Chains A and B, each alone.
Chain A
C-alpha cells in the first residue's frame, strides 16, 4: 500500500516537472515569436474610446455642430461649437418654450477637465468685438489666450480672448468680403454675395483655425472657407507679416473646377483651407480638405512636400484637421477625416498612412462628421463632430502596437491587448 502511494507521488511529481518543462519550451517559443513580430511589424499608437467621457453638462445644455477642439497646458479640453444656431427645434425645447426639461444650446466656448467636468463656459456677442456668425476652430496659445475663427458668410476676422472670455483682440473686420450691395447670408461655403480676398493684408475670408508659434510669437491662419491661403500674423498686434497659397504660390481666388481625383493636382488650395499646424521641427502642415491633401511648408512659405489621402473622396474631402503625436520627434500625425469618418494615423516623415480607426455611426468610437482633433500631454486624442454628430469624444492612448489592419474599426474599450 505504502509502495503504491510512493509510486503515485513519483508519478505526480514527474508529471508536474514534465508539465513545467513543456510550458517553459512553449513560453520560450512564444517569446521568440513575439520578439520577431515586434521587430518586423510596423508599430503605431493604439487607442481605445473612453465612452464615459465627458460627463453630462448642467442646465440641460446640449452641443451644436462642434467645430473646434484644443488641449491646453493643464490638459483641459476646450471646444467651440455652434450651439442653438445648429440645433433643431426639438433639440432646444427650453429655448423655444415647447418643452419644460429639454434642452438648450450650451455657450459656444466650453472647457472640460480630465475627469470630464465642464469648467468655464462663455462666448457669444459682446462689447468691443464682432462675434462670428459661424464660429470655427479653437486654439489656446502659449500665453493661455483663446483664438477663434469663423466661417459664417460675413466672417472675415479672428478673435482673441483670455481663458475667462475677456476680449483681447480682433483682427480683421466682419463683412470685409461682402460684395457691394450684397445681402447677408449664413450658409457654410456660401460664396454668393461674397468674394475671396486672399491678398488682403487686413481681413480674412472665413478662417478655419489659428495656431500660434511661441518661438516667433506669430499666428498662422488657415484662411479659409473663402480665401485660399495661409496667413502669418504678429500674435500680439495682428499685423500681417506674410502669406502664401498651395505649393507656396501667390494665392489666386479664381474659382477652381470641382475636385477630380484623376486630374492633375490644383496649383491653388481648394476651399476650405482647414488647418495650419506647426510641428516641433518647425514645418507648417496645411490641410487642403477638399483636395484630399496635406501640404508641408517652411515657416516662410516654401513648399516642402505633400501627401494625398483617400484620394477618391469627393464632397467635403478627406483631410480635415491634424494633431501631432506627443513623442519628442512627433513621429505620427493623427488626421481627422469627416467624410470617411475615421481618424488616420500617418507617419509624419513619409506622409504614409499606417492605419486608421473609427467608423460612421453614433455609438462611442464612431463618428458623424469628425471635424477637429487634438491631443493631450499623455497622448490621448480628442475629436469633435460637426453636422449631426455634435459631440466631443476622448480616445485613450494605449501604447504602441503592431499594425495588423488598414482600418481597425471602432476601438472599443479593451480592444487593445494587455500590457
Chain B
C-alpha cells in the first residue's frame, strides 16, 4: 500500500500534536491553590504583595538545570512574565470607582514552600525586596512559590479602594487570603473564593448596607424552613394589625441572637448547629400543631419571640463567612442583614396573605383549610426534625464543666430577663387597652 507524502506529513503532525498534549498534561491544573496577598496604600502608591504557588502558573517555561531544578540565576524574566500574565492582568484596582492603571512590577522572588514571610506585611515586604535564592538551593520547579511586589499609582492613600482579583483560573479551587492595611493600623482580612467579583476594601457604610440588605433578603427567600415557620404563623392571622406584633416579636428575637452570635456569644461546639437546626424544625411542628388544635391561638407573639431566638442562631450560620465584607460597619451590617430579612418576610407576607384569603374564600373553608395546610407543614417539618435529631444525637452530651454551667446560667438569666420584660410590657399594654369583656354591656343603665 502506497502512503502519500501528505499522509506521512499528517501522521507526523499528529504525533507532534499528541506529544505537545502529553507535555501540557504533564502539568495539570492544580486542585487547590491558595493565594496570599497584602494590599497597602501609602501616600501616592498602592502596594500589592502577592504569593502564589508556581504549580498554578501555566504555559510559562521556567529555566531549569539538572533534575529539573530551577535555574534561579536565569529565572527573573520568566517570573516577571508569569507575574504580568497570571496576576497583574487578572487584577483590577479601583480608586473612588475609577480604574487604576496597570501596576509596575517592583520585585519578584522564588521562595521555598516552607517560607513563612507572608505572616505579616513587614516580613513579606522585606522578603520580596531582600536577597534572592541562588542555585545553591535546589528547588524542583513545581514546588517553588512566586512572590511579587506590584505598585499602583494612586491619588491618595485615604481614597476608597475596591479590588477585583480574578484568580479563579489558577486552579480548580482557588482561595485568596487578602489582607488590606489602610492608614491607621487596622487590618481587614478577606477570604475570597475563586473570582469573588469586585470587593470594596474597607467599604463605606452604604456599600455595607446594600450588600447585607441584599444578602438578608435572599437568605430568607432561600430558607425553606424559615418560610414554612412564617407560613404557619400567618395561616390563622391574616389581618395586618394582628400580624404586626407577631412579626415584630420574631424580628426582635432573631436580631438579638444574630447579633449575639456575630459577637461570639454563641457556643462554638460541634453540636450547636445541629441543635439549632433541630429546634427550628421543632418550632415549625409546634406552630403547625397549634394551628390544628387551637382555633384562635392566644399570645402567639410570645412563643414566636422564643422561637425567633432560635431562628436568629440559624441565620447566623449563613452569615459567618460573609462578615468579612462588613469592614468597620459590623453592627450596621448586622442590622442591614436583619432589614433584608424583614423585607424578604414582607414580600412573602404580601404574597401569602392574599393567596390564603383566596384559598379560604373559594376553595376550602377557613378552618378546614387551616387544618389541612398545617398538617402538610407539620408532616414535612416532622421529617426534618427526625432527620436533624438523628444528626444531633451523634454528639453525646458534653461533660459540663463549672465554666459551662456558669455560661448556661448566664444565658438562662438573660432569657428570664427578656421574658420578664415582655411580660411587663404585655401587662402595661393590657392596662392601656380596656378589656371589652370587663366593660359594662350597657353603660347608660342607671342614668
Residue ranges of A at the interface with B (Cβ–Cβ < 8 Å): 9, 12-13, 16, 19-20, 23-24, 26-27, 30-31, 33-34, 37-38, 48, 72-74, 113, 117, 119, 141-145, 162-164, 166, 168, 214, 236, 402, 412-419
Contact = CB atoms under 8 A, between A and B. Distances in A.
Interface string B388-408: 000000111111111111110
B268 A419 contact: yes
A119 B31 CA distance: 8
A145 B31 CA distance: 19
B413 A166 contact: no
B143 A34 contact: no
A168 B140 contact: yes
Contacts of A142: 112-114
Interface in B363-400: 394-400
Contacts of A13: 420, 424
A73 B407 contact: no
Given A16-B416, A23-B413, A414-B398, A419 B269 contact: yes
Interface residues of B, number: 44
Given A168-B67, A413-B394, A37 B413 contact: no
Interface string B135-163: 00111101100000000000000000000
13 contacts: A27-B409, A30-B402, A30-B409, A113-B32, A143-B138, A143-B143, A166-B68, A168-B140, A413-B394, A414-B270, A414-B398, A417-B398, A418-B272
B271 interface: yes
B65 interface: no
**Most chain-B Cβ atoms within 10 A of its Cβ — which of A72, A412, A418?**
A418
Given A113-B31, A142-B113, A143-B114, A413 B395 contact: yes
Given A16-B416, A417-B401, A214 B114 contact: yes
Contacts, number: 118
B54 to A, nearest CB: 10
Interface in B256-277: 267-272
Given A9-B427, A73-B114, A142-B114, A20 B140 contact: no
Nearest to A33: B402
Nearest to B413: A23
Contacts of A141: 114
Interface in B390-447: 394-407, 409-410, 412-413, 416-417, 420, 423-424, 427
B277 to A, nearest CB: 16
Contacts of B83: none
Interface in B93-140: 112-114, 137-140
B409 A417 contact: no
**Most chain-B Cβ atoms within 10 A of its Cβ — which of A30, A72, A117?**
A30
A145 B69 CA distance: 12
A168 B394 CA distance: 47
Nearest to B271: A414
A97 to B, nearest CB: 31
What are the nearest 5 A-B pairs in CB distance?
Answer: A144-B143, A142-B114, A414-B395, A34-B403, A30-B406
B419 to A, nearest CB: 8
B401 A162 contact: no
Given A168-B67, A417-B401, A34 B112 contact: no
Contacts of A19: 416
B29 to A, nearest CB: 13
B104 to A, nearest CB: 30
Contacts of A414: 269-271, 394-398
A413 B270 CA distance: 8
A310 to B, nearest CB: 26
Interface string B27-46: 00001101000000000000
B34 A74 contact: yes
Given A30-B405, A73-B114, A413-B270, A24 B143 contact: no
Contacts of B271: 414
A413 B34 CA distance: 29
B111 to A, nearest CB: 10
A241 B341 CA distance: 68
A143 to B, nearest CB: 5
